[in-house]
Structure 1
Amino acid sequence: MEKKFTPQGFGSAAVHAGHLQDPNYAHQTPIYASSTYVFDTAEQGMRRFAGEEEGYIYSRYGNPTIAEAERKITALETFGLDVQAKGILHASGMAAISTLLLSTLRAGDKILTHYSLYSGTDNVMRTILPHFGIEAITMDMQDLEKVEDVIQHDRHIKLLYLETPANPTIQIVDIEELTAIAKRYNLHVACDNTFATPYLQQPFRYGVDYIVHSTTKFLNGHGTAIGGILIGSDVERMKDHITKSHRILGGNGNPFDAFLLTQGIKTLELRMERHCSNAVKVADYLEKHPAVAKVNYEGLVSHPGYEVAKKQMRKPGAMLSFELKGGMEAGVDCMNRLQFCTRTVSLGTVDTLLCHPPSMTHFSVPKEQRERYGITDGLIRMNVGIENVEDILADLEQAIR
């Protein structure tokens, strides 16, 4: 029986949205481990390839397990908004970003973006896209007048690319104001919403055209699968041009990881509530610590993006970074002394993760550029988990000299 009930709460949507009744009435959508699909007749195959009939053809083109994850995430990004959108699941966040950039830009075009992007995104823009004749302009987007001046005087700029909060300095940019500027000059706007998740922030609310996520992170929540998604508010373009680009480029997700992702999303609201409440307490502790020079966390009044974050985020997130006064030696020493928190890269899992960006995630970014972005030698990035906060604080106390 088809359900017609519309959930009123975000948590309810996270559990139920996107689910279609399985033909065999399985409670959970099964893992459809099939590379291809059969046709009743040759004519049916012809209709499906021509786009005249809905149905699956080949799992690089679409898969029932993958489709549920796409529908669920899209429903959360548009929850409570008068916005239609379509999502396409990818093998990774970088695959989703690559599909976005290669399907929306051409030789001679430029991207306008800001400092302190995820290192993979920075690398694509800095080392890959120039081979295709596409240039990235990186600037401080806190100065809105300067942003508009740059756009106004360079008609080759076609895409405004945002990441907020940004990795790993937790820089906040104003989605609403920047999107308004971009739209005055007919630019497309994309936003990486990985750190915030749709529970804390919905970029479509402000007129953004595309949202990307590394679903590996908070959406999955348990560190069990790699994935990414690209969601666009121009449904017809997503179904046609973007889908064709995605299929040709081959960055499709897989049904096993999509199943794990779908299960993880069901507890997103509960997890983010605990992540965020713990992060506020950890940030407050670190800001008062004598060995800490600076704490980057949008929930602190001292953060330059505090007011903007209050405007566009439901509450401060789970990610923070802090700079130790002792530089590289202090950063490495802190990492080595951890006993309870986890020493690893990535983020978004239920356990607390710490990494040292200068020697790990952002090692490939030139030192001069890293420091200009605020990624100093003593910087530690922290994914505050959902454990009891007193255990997190106790481990930090003994690790930070």
Structure 2
Amino acid sequence: MEDQTEPTFETLTVSEGEEPFGSASEAGDVVSPIHLASTFALPGLDTEMRLEDVDPAAGEFVYGRLSNPTRHTLETRIAALEGGGHGAAFASGTAAIFTTLLARLSPGDHVVAFEDLYAGTRRMLDDVFRSRLGVDVTYVDATDTENVAAALREETAVVWMESPTNPRLALCDIAGIADLLADRDVLFGVDNTFASPYFQRPLELGADVVAHSTTKYLNGHSDAIAGAIVTDDDALAEEIRFLQQVGVGAVSGPFDSYLVLRGTKTLAARMERHEANATAVAEFLDDRPEVSDVYYPGLPSHPDHELAREQMSGFGGILSFELDGTIADAKRFVEALTEFTLAVSVGGVESLIELPAAMTHEPLSPAEREALGISDTLIRVSVGIEGIDDLIGDLRGGFDAMNRRATTPSADR
């Protein structure tokens, strides 16, 4: 008889945390029910019981903000997918990141962050932690680990990275930064939203904590707002849970938890299709004369391509590209598309397209966007799982619309 092996990633996405006759599903449901109760009946009065001693893993629940059976199942599954010991599900990715930073930062502390962070995370660091809580922040080009090393100070408490980044798909060397911080009391966090745990597992590369906007790939259907944190650090997990449940209270609700849990079941299959389609779209764009640059880690021309091959098992479904034209050209291009929907967000089964300068990164000043290489004609694409011929045909139509020059009856005057 062969030795029992650990479940594969694909199996974990389908069944981890769900027990048909477990405490959360006594009727034998093959999927976790949506537990909407805000409070739970106690079997009796134990005068020595403390709320922090209640154990959801043992089927013990008291109040929905502290724990909920549906949310607990999701937290168990996401932790397993990232290879971590502790998971916490939040009302949004922003809430997850904020709570994690709050668990570690005090006035006078210092943060080193990737300069090409999601604009919402930068606003959080600048407008909340720096302006209101007295935390200093240094942004660096983390594609070179030496820049991270040079920015470190005695008071540095957190190094916060995204890899790949939003919107230019830049990478940092996660293992290299982890080695750099090995002898320091510094929390190393990685936002893994763009890669998903299917293509990258930062904890295995040395990160202390992993963040997700589970709104994106983990849910995959653009119908839930939620976030998650995973860590192996017991003390950090305890502090995050305290803030999640008591200090902030920004927990993922039962229905959103159910939707994300449902979405994870198809994560592996979806990510394979996302990557295949994104690769085809990137190669198509790379050959178009109207496009000056394509940013996709799967292209050999990408400056971080070799690093992506080392620390990722695939290249994901998101890319960005630079149109060789004006903002008016970009507007004509995106508004002519029918298969790609003009909308913010990423990671859903449908293809989305946006202009970061006018949409997701509009909160940044023009000078900040210019410093980050976010021009008025940079376009970000979240490639869905539709038929690739339909997607390529739609993009051709966009270029046709861009190349047509509008004429008016008064053109000769």
Q: Normalization by structure 2: what TM-score? A: 0.91
CA distance in 1, matches of 2:381, 2:88: 29
* Contact 2:203 2:231 survives alignment (8 Å): no
Closer, same or farther in 2 for the Cα pair 1:168/1:47, shift >3 Å? Answer: same
Q: Which residue of 1 aligns with 2:71?
A: 66
Do residues 27 (structure 1) and 26 (structure 2) align? no
- Map 1:218-237 onto structure 2 (within 5 A): 218-237=217-236
1:275 to 1:49, Cα distance in 2 relative to 1, 3 A: same
Hey, what's the Cα distance between the residues in 2 that align with 1:203 and 1:133? Answer: 29
Q: Deviations over 1:273-297 (max 9, x none)?
A: 0000111110011011011111110
Give the SS at the match of 1:394.
Answer: helix
The separation in 1 between residues aligned to 2:361 and 2:150, in whole angstroms, is 30
Instruction: Give per-residue Cα distances to partners, 1:197-219, cap 9 Å, x unaligned.
Output: 00000001111111000000010
Q: Distance in 1 between matches of 2:89 and 2:146?
A: 36
Q: Which residue of 1 aligns with 2:405?
A: none
Secondary structure in 2 aligned to 1:149? helix
Letter in 2 for 1:275: H
Query: Normalised by the size of structure 1, how large is the TM-score?
Result: 0.94
Note if contact 2:297-2:308 (Cα within 8 Å) is conserved in structure 1: yes
Q: Does 1:301 align with 2:300?
A: yes
Letter in 1 for 2:141: D
Taking structure 1 as reference, are residues 397 and 29 closer, same or farther at Cα in structure 2, changes over 3 Å only?
same
Q: Deviations over 1:315-367 (max 9, x none)?
A: 11100001111132122111111122111111101111101110001100111
Kept in 1, the 8 Å contact 2:169–2:295? The answer is yes
1:120-139 map, 5 Å: 120-130=120-130, 131-139=132-140
Alpha-carbon distance between aligned partners in 2 of 1:114 and 1:232, rounded to the nearest angstrom: 20
- One-letter amino acid of the counterpart of residue 217, structure 1: K
Look up the match of 1:386: 385
Alignment check: 8 A CA contact 2:111 2:138 kept = yes
Residue 49 of structure 1, aligned match among 48, 51, 68: 51
Compare 279-288 and 240-249 and name the one that shifted more: 240-249
Paired residue for 1:144?
Answer: 145
- Distance in 2, matches of 1:374 and 1:155, equals 31
Which amino acid letter does the alignment assign opposite residue 44 of structure 2?
Answer: T
- The answer for the alignment partner of 1:81 in structure 2 is none
**C-alpha contact 1:191 1:208 (8 A) present in aligned 2:** yes
CA deviation after TM superposition for structure 1 residue 12, in Å:
1.2
1:47 and 1:53 in contact (8 A); partners too: no
Amino acid at match of 2:366: K
Matches within 5 A, 1:224-303: 224-238=223-237, 240-247=238-245, 248-303=247-302
Q: How does 1:66-145 map to 2 (within 5 A)?
A: 66-78=71-83, 84-130=84-130, 131-145=132-146
Q: Is 2:116–2:141's contact at 8 Å kept on the other side of the alignment?
A: no
Q: Distance in 1 between matches of 2:92 and 2:162?
A: 17
Q: Percent identity?
A: 35
The letter of the residue matching 1:258 is: S
1:52 shift after superposition: 6.2
* Letter paired with 1:345: V
Please tell me whether the aligned partners of residues 7 and 13 of structure 1 are also in contact (alpha carbons under 8 angstroms): no
Q: CA RMSD in A?
A: 1.6
CA distance in 2: counterparts of 1:52 and 1:226, whole angstroms: 27
Structure 2: how far apart are the matches of 1:147 and 1:26? 49
Tell me how far apart the structure 1 counterparts of residues 236 and 359 of structure 2 sit (CA, whole Å): 37
Structure 2: gaps (5+ residues): 403-413
User: Hey, what does 2:397 align to over in structure 1?
Assistant: 398
For 1:9 and 1:28, how far apart are their aligned partners in 2? 19
The AA in structure 2 aligned to 1:277 is A
1:205-261 CA deviation, whole Å, 9 max, x = no partner? 1111110000000100001100000111113431x2221111221111100011111
For the pair shown, the structure with the greater C-alpha radius of gyration is 2
One-letter code aligned to 1:68: T
Pairwise CA distance, 1:25: 1.6
Indicate conservation of the 8 Å contact 1:278/1:389, yes or no: yes
Aligned residues: 389
Question: Is 2:337–2:398's contact at 8 Å kept on the other side of the alignment?
Answer: yes
Map of 2:406 onto structure 1: none
The gaps in structure 1 that reach 5 residues or longer are 79-83
